[in-house]
Amino acid sequence: MTIDKVCSVCPATIFAGGAASGRVLEVDRWLLRTLLKGVGAPAITAALWDGKDAVTGEAASFRMIVRNRGALLRLFSNPLLHFGDDFSAGNIEIEGELVPFLETVYRAMAGPVGLRRHRKPLADWSRKKVNSLRNSRDNIHHHYDIGNDFYRLWLDSEMLYTCAYFPQPELSIEAAQIAKMELVCRKLGLKGGERVIEAGCGWGGLARYMAKRYGAKVRAFNISAEQLAYARQRAKEEGIEGVEYVEDDYRNITGECDAFVSVGMLEHVGTDNYAALGEVVNRTLSETGLGLIHSIGQDVAEPLSGWLEKRIFPGSYTPTIREMMAIFEPRGFSVLDVENLRLHYAKTLEHWLQRFERHADQVAQMFDDSFVRAWRLYLCGSIANFTTGSLQLYQVLFSRRGNNRVPWTRSQFIDPRGDHGKL
Amino acid sequence: MTIDKVCSVCPATIFAGGAASGRVLEVDRWLLRTLLKGVGAPAITAALWDGKDAVTGEAASFRMIVRNRGALLRLFSNPLLHFGDDFSAGNIEIEGELVPFLETVYRAMAGPVGLRRHRKPLADWSRKKVNSLRNSRDNIHHHYDIGNDFYRLWLDSEMLYTCAYFPQPELSIEAAQIAKMELVCRKLGLKGGERVIEAGCGWGGLARYMAKRYGAKVRAFNISAEQLAYARQRAKEEGIEGVEYVEDDYRNITGECDAFVSVGMLEHVGTDNYAALGEVVNRTLSETGLGLIHSIGQDVAEPLSGWLEKRIFPGSYTPTIREMMAIFEPRGFSVLDVENLRLHYAKTLEHWLQRFERHADQVAQMFDDSFVRAWRLYLCGSIANFTTGSLQLYQVLFSRRGNNRVPWTRSQFIDPRGDHGKL
């Protein structure tokens, strides 16, 4: 695991020791059994570094091998953090397919209510970091500035790194990302010449689409320098007018717009800042304007799993619908429509994973093998989170209170051209 | 105002004195001016019992006349309760159309945030009554048992007393109510032979529709004896099998279902009982079942206006989306879809008002003039509440966590036959 090579702001040191652990003791086996019971006794087989199965799951299609005592002890102390780290470091291996293995574990952990409750970490140091302007920059840099060349290997040609929309499940990822952008524009009832503010624009794909297909005038905000450099370059190459990419935090957005849109930024905002985000919308949205916020969410309020929050998305949190209302209610915004696209995100991630695996050798050369394993775990784990329902994807459409220029029905959300895939 | 004639459980006494008030004093005019300032200075003209305008609104299309000092004092002490009572008693009259008058007042009261905040009653006695099993019966009896003959005068032929759905705004109320039932069935993905539990079935229209059109097996619960008598009679006349109407509280529902549906009951449940309702769903819904709750709601958590809660819907409360989540989150239900049909309820009410006015003489004979005025105010006020956005209408579709047999897209919600209006 070499996150430290990738990003110097990550404060954690990784004890990924792989030294020989001597012979397996009875206490080692007890630790492994206790650990698996603690996470809900998933139907898996588990072995230690002697290669012998210490736990045999009923009809298990998967086998987990813990390669040394260090990994076992770490796993026992905080499985949600250290499974990821030690899997990445090669201290834990999985025989069998990774996604169904993770689904099996997640389902066992979820139990009848509340996922991730059965096995709390011994120390939960990952909570309650407020995303200040400075922290936000560091957090975003951590994930999004590791190289456009890397993301280009496995994202679609428009570089959309958010849930796609598959009107037909068999669509390509390219077509499904365009269908998603079209869906967003249709929900917003976007018309030519309208002013759009986009908070968190990634590599700028939605802003380009709105300008090209709808003739909208978009001001798109982002604090990732690498993403913005790419976005500006593409807009220039394609001769797109009507998009201004601004390197600034969403909290500093001013001006007026007819549509406020944010796709995949809320996960990085943190609940403490939802009222501030609502205030940004309140000072920018016109009287008859519409807004749309698209975010990963969850059914029940629980922290992101330790590893994901620590290694992949520092400062992130995926809200419940109840929590999201803190954006809207204080300013009296009216929620018009909520769509949950959970299974569309699982499918999106399957496309990304396939492409990622096709380029795994290249990724290993760009970084190293532990980076490949970490990213594989992140993609597979995310698929399993969406298929088992521990994550959701919400699109929330809203307006100011009493705005009667809202969509009469959802019929305008449907693309009658059905030409998903053409930009 | 003769609510007491209608329902003996209503605890309030109505001081609707109409005796002569002597000449108008300067203090009377001061009270009226202060009152109107307190509710946000709506653009209306207002006069006292001498017929002279004491307040002149700019370009006002409406004139409110307070006929005596008793009404003025009551209005000053708690306008949200006593406007309704004294309007009903004939102590307050409105010149001009009632709906736009009320819209003007509601918009003034709403201000930039929070409706109904500018003018709190001096004593807010309407809050925090818990809806016990016994109270619920009394409250439901108050509104729904005042006579099927009365409701038959102005509801559609299926006797649906909830928001209709108008795929085309020009649909008849008959067609729009059928379109609403069809929409509900489609969201639930209802199939022949499936078991449905309906909590709060009104006069039984949706249960009949599900049985007739979908071949579903419906157990429909209600605590209004009058409504159930009607529902059973109609099912018998139409020879409908597959519907069982049960006179019982939603909290007593047992058994298993493939679809759980509740249309227009949540308003009577009260937030204190949302967890109990969630528990009812939890013990009845099958693993792959879907649920739908349809309810009046609001953007911002505020009590129902005093008069409405006291005279029309005792024990009622219209929740925010955030508050509704208390049904779903504790049991880990997953919200799939939220649709806000606010303007469809305004249109539904316009149809009801038209029919009501056509039968006003008949209603006056059944009850009296003050009942007609009270009901007119309730219907007009409700229209204004929906058009100004102080009320919303939410349809929430949900499933158990991680249920992957959920609608892939919303395309199944659309009726391709487009034959709204045929049962």
Residue A50 maps to which CATH number?
3.30.1050
Partner residue facing B299 (CB), from A166, A387, A401? A401
pLDDT score, position B130: 66
Q: Is residue A128 part of a domain?
A: no
Same domain, A104 and A198: no
Residue pLDDT, tens place only, A324-363: 999 999 999 999 999 999 999 999 999 999 999 999 999 9
The residue-averaged pLDDT of B367-383 equals 94
Q: Is residue B319 part of a domain?
A: yes
Give the span between the Cα atoms of A371 and A74, in whole angstroms: 20
pLDDT score, position A111: 63
Strand (E) or helix (H) holding B340: strand B334-340
Give the span between the Cα atoms of B385 and B102, in whole angstroms: 8
pLDDT score, position A423: 63
Partner residue facing B389 (CB), from A112, A402, A410? A402
What secondary structure, in 3-state letters, does B202-239 show?
Answer: CCCHHHHHHHHHHCCEEEEEECCHHHHHHHHHHHHHCC
Q: Is B411 on the interface with A (CB under 8 A)?
A: yes
Q: Which two tokens stand for residue B117?
A: 């905040």
Partner residue facing B332 (CB), from A113, A329, A337? A113
Q: Report which of B305, B393, B297 is spatially closest to residue B343, judged by C-alpha positions.
A: B393
Residue B249 maps to which CATH number?
3.40.50.150
Rg (CA), chain B: 22
Out of B66, B95, B124, pick the residue that ends a domain: B95
Measuring CA to CA, how many Å separate B189 from each of A197, A228, B80, B192, B398? 37, 44, 42, 10, 12
Out of A110, A144, A162, pick the residue that ends a domain: A110
**Distance, C-alpha A108 to centroid of its chain:** 22
Q: Is residue B62 part of a domain?
A: yes
pLDDT score, position A342: 98
Out of A78, A110, A142, pick the residue that ends a domain: A110
Bridge partners (DSSP) listed for residue B395: B294, B339
| Host domain of residue A295 | 133-413
Q: Report which of A313, A319, A385 is spatially closest to residue A349, judged by C-alpha positions.
A: A385
B299 vs A343: CB contact, 8 Å cut-off? Answer: no
B335 vs A340: CB contact, 8 Å cut-off? Answer: yes
Give the span between the Cα atoms of A259 and A400, in whole angstroms: 12
Strand (E) or helix (H) holding A26: helix A26-38
Same domain, A316 and A216: yes
pLDDT score, position A274: 98
Give the span between the Cα atoms of A14 and B151, in whole angstroms: 71
* Look-up of token digits 């209510």: A113
Count up the domains in chain A and report the number. 2
Question: Quick one: pLDDT band at residue B141, thresholds 50, 70, 90?
Answer: low
Same domain, B190 and B42: no
Residue pLDDT, tens place only, B26-73: 999 999 999 999 888 999 999 999 999 888 877 778 999 999 999 999
List the 73-132 stretch of A: residues with Cβ below 8 A of B. 107, 110, 112-114
Q: Is residue B79 part of a domain?
A: yes
Same domain, A355 and A218: yes
Residue of B nearest to A404 (CA): B387
Which amino acid does the sequence have at A3?
I
Interface test with A, best of B99, B109, B322 (most A CBs within 10 A): B322
Q: Is residue A121 part of a domain?
A: no
* Look-up of token digits 């492994």: A32
pLDDT score, position B195: 98
Q: Is the pLDDT of residue B180 over 80?
A: yes
List the 154-213 stretch of A: residues with Cβ below 8 A of B. 166-167, 169
User: Of B130 and B97, which is predicted with more confidence?
Assistant: B97
Q: Report which of B353, B169, B374, B339 is spatially closest to residue B263, judged by C-alpha positions.
A: B339
Under DSSP, is residue B148 helix (H, G, I), strand (E, B) or coil?
helix
**Distance, C-alpha A382 to centroid of its chain:** 8
% of chain B surpassing 70 pLDDT: 87
Same domain, B172 and B290: yes
Partner residue facing A333 (CB), from B110, B299, B409? B299
Partner residue facing B408 (CB), from A169, A332, A338? A169
Same domain, B179 and B66: no
pLDDT score, position B83: 94
A321 vs B339: CB contact, 8 Å cut-off? Answer: no
Strand (E) or helix (H) holding A257: strand A257-263
pLDDT score, position A400: 97
DSSP3 helix / strand / coil % (chain B, rounded to 5): 45, 15, 40
**Which residues of chain A are within 8 Å of residue B411 when distances are taken between CB atoms?**
167, 414
Partner residue facing B338 (CB), from A335, A389, A403? A335
Interface test with B, best of A296, A322, A405 (most B CBs within 10 A): A322
Shortest distance, CA B161 to any CA of chain A (angstroms): 21
Chain A to chain B Cβ contacts (< 8 Å): 121
Is the CB of residue B251 less than 8 Å from the CB of residue B225? Answer: no
Q: What is the pLDDT along chain A (423 residues), one digit of tens a residue?
A: 333 333 333 333 344 444 557 899 999 999 999 999 988 899 999 999 999 988 887 777 899 999 999 999 999 998 888 999 999 999 999 999 999 999 999 999 886 433 344 344 433 433 445 677 777 667 666 666 678 999 999 999 999 999 999 999 999 999 999 999 999 999 999 999 999 999 999 999 999 999 999 999 999 999 999 999 999 999 999 999 999 999 999 999 999 999 999 999 999 999 999 999 999 999 999 999 999 999 999 999 988 888 888 888 888 999 999 999 999 999 999 999 999 999 999 999 999 999 999 999 999 999 999 999 999 999 999 999 999 999 999 999 999 999 999 999 999 999 887 766 566
User: Of B115 and B348, which is predicted with more confidence?
Assistant: B348
Strongest mean pLDDT among A362-371, B31-40, B143-152, B392-401: B392-401
The residue-averaged pLDDT of B256-264 equals 98
Shortest distance, CA B281 to any CA of chain A (angstroms): 14
Q: Is B416 on the interface with A (CB under 8 A)?
A: no
**Which residues of chain A are within 8 Å of residue B301 when distances are taken between CB atoms?**
329
ipTM exceeding 0.95? no
B329 vs A301: CB contact, 8 Å cut-off? Answer: yes
A392 vs B337: CB contact, 8 Å cut-off? Answer: no
Q: Is residue A271 part of a domain?
A: yes
Q: Is the pLDDT of residue B183 over 50?
A: yes
pLDDT score, position A59: 73
Q: Is residue B354 part of a domain?
A: no
Q: How many CB atoms lie within 10 A of CB B11?
A: 10
Same domain, B332 and B190: yes
Same domain, A69 and A154: no
Strongest mean pLDDT among A17-21, B130-134, B167-171: B167-171
Q: What is the pTM of this model?
A: 0.91
Under DSSP, is residue B150 helix (H, G, I), strand (E, B) or coil?
helix
Q: Is residue A249 part of a domain?
A: yes
Residue pLDDT, tens place only, B261-275: 999 999 999 999 999
Q: Report which of A294, A317, A248, A299 is spatially closest to residue A398, judged by C-alpha positions.
A: A294
Shortest distance, CA B308 to any CA of chain A (angstroms): 20
Q: Is B328 on the interface with A (CB under 8 A)?
A: yes
What secondary structure, in 3-state letters, does B251-262 show?
Answer: HHCCCCEEEEEE
Give the span between the Cα atoms of B189 and B185, in whole angstroms: 6
A337 vs B335: CB contact, 8 Å cut-off? Answer: no
Q: How many CB atoms lie within 10 A of CB B236?
A: 9
Same domain, A290 and A385: yes
- Helix then strand count (H, E) for chain B reads 16, 11
Mean of pLDDT over chain B: 88
Is the CB of residue B326 less than 8 Å from the CB of residue B275? Answer: yes
Partner residue facing A332 (CB), from B300, B402, B408? B300
Dmax (CA) for chain A in angstroms is: 73
| Edge-first strand listing for the sheet containing A53-55 | A53-55, A45-47, A63-66, A92-95
List the 122-161 stretch of B: residues with Cβ below 8 A of A. none
Rg (CA), chain A: 22
CA angle A133, A135, A136 (to 5 degrees): 65
Same domain, B248 and B322: yes
Torsion of CA A96, A102, A104, A105, to 10 degrees: 120
Q: Is the pLDDT of residue B259 over 90?
A: yes
Give the span between the Cα atoms of B100 and B98, in whole angstroms: 6
**Which residues of chain B are within 8 Å of residue A402 when distances are taken between CB atoms?**
107, 110, 387-390
Same domain, A168 and A30: no
Same domain, A49 and A82: yes
Q: Is B13 on the interface with A (CB under 8 A)?
A: no
% of chain A surpassing 90 pLDDT: 74
